[in-house]
Structure 1
Amino acid sequence: MLKWALIFLVISLVAGALGFTGVASGAKTISKLLFGLFLAVFIILLLLAWSAGELLF
């Protein structure tokens, strides 16, 4: 999921540099959505691992 967020970020940057503002804004939105989803899943899994005793800090 993080890989796809980075891919859409690169697409957004390249499209913005070339002047395709519609494509750039769409790719930016998708990239932000995927990164937020990745972050939420990561935090949930981190809390579950901590509550199960798998994390040692």
Structure 2
Amino acid sequence: MSAEELNKMIAVKKMDLEECEFELYNRYYPSIVRMAMMNYISVLQTQLEKYIHEQIKNKHI
């Protein structure tokens, strides 16, 4: 993945994560929906860490 693509992916994941966290903490949702949102947030955080790690790795090559 090119550096430009990686930067775009990181930006999109960060925006999605921020939006999901905002929605989770500022609106009422039934508990099953909240659990699904928390799971999705966890997945986003994992993906974001992976992309950031890849970005760091590519800068050192």
Q: TM-score, normalised by structure 2?
A: 0.66
Q: Please, which runs of 5 or more residues in structure 2 have no aligned partner?
A: 1-12
Give the distance between the partners of 1:40 and 1:12, measured in 2 at CA. Answer: 23
1:2-41 deviations in Å (ceiling 9; x for gaps)? 11012112222235xx362111111111111011101101
Give the length in aligned residue pairs.
49
Give the distance between the partners of 1:19 and 1:27, measured in 2 at CA. Answer: 10
Q: Please, which runs of 5 or more residues in structure 1 have no aligned partner?
A: 52-57
* Structure with bigger RCO (C-alpha 8 Å, 6+ apart): 2
RMSD: 1.5
Structure index of larger Rg = 1
